[in-house]
Amino acid sequence: MAKLDVRNLGDYIREQRSSAQISLRQLAKLAGVSNPYLSQIERGLRKPSAEILQQIAKALRISAEALYVQAGILDERYGDSDVPAAVHSDAALTERQKQVLLEIYESFRRENDERPPTAATPSETPAPVTPDVAS
């Protein structure tokens, strides 16, 4: 596990807050922490708990895992999709569109988790390409 670098964590939270166009005061209220405490986290003076990081992530609409990685609580995983974080961070989508996309994504994940690994089903197998020959 990586060593906690509270300065980099604070910078990361500040960058995420700025890109979300949320004030320190608004984020503190949304995350359920005091303004001075959040300010100290952002300046690298305080080490937040995993629970506080989760509350901050939820308020910023980013994955808690991303904050855990920044905090050194989790090692960064490669190859795993972070679709929810990408959807939440897309400023071009409305909140309703994000919600619908994530619901569809989760339904596909559940469907694939329930299906035993087998060869491609007929709907997943591409049709053979045949040349268009005029008669």
Q: What is the pLDDT of residue 80?
A: 56
- Do residues 53 and 19 share a domain? yes
- Do residues 14 and 51 share a domain? yes
- Do residues 67 and 88 share a domain? no
The whole-angstrom separation of Cα 43 and Cα 56 is: 15
Paired tokens of 58 = 């939820």
Give a yes or no: residue 10 inside a domain.
yes
- Do residues 18 and 63 share a domain? yes
Domain that holds residue 91: 83-114
Look up the pTM and report it: 0.55
Mean pLDDT by 10 residues, the chain (135 residues): 63 91 95 96 91 93 83 65 78 84 83 66 54 57
- Do residues 13 and 67 share a domain? yes
Give a yes or no: residue 20 inside a domain.
yes
Q: What is the pLDDT of residue 103?
A: 83
Give a yes or no: residue 62 inside a domain.
yes
Paired tokens of 107 = 């339904």
Q: What is the pLDDT of residue 26?
A: 96
- Do residues 93 and 66 share a domain? no
Which residues lie closer than 8 Å to 45 by C-beta, 6 or more apart? 6, 10
Place of tokens 């490669």: 78
The whole-angstrom separation of Cα 81 and Cα 131 is: 37
The whole-angstrom separation of Cα 35 and Cα 27 is: 8
Hey, what amino acid is at 10? G
Give a yes or no: residue 46 inside a domain.
yes
Under 8 Å between Cβ of 9 and 44: yes
Q: What is the pLDDT of residue 79?
A: 47
- Do residues 57 and 94 share a domain? no
CA distances from 29 to 25, 43, 55, 71, 111 (A): 6, 18, 10, 21, 37
- Do residues 12 and 64 share a domain? yes
Length, in residues, of the chain: 135
Give a yes or no: residue 22 inside a domain.
yes
Give a yes or no: residue 33 inside a domain.
yes
Q: What is the pLDDT of residue 86?
A: 81
- Do residues 64 and 89 share a domain? no
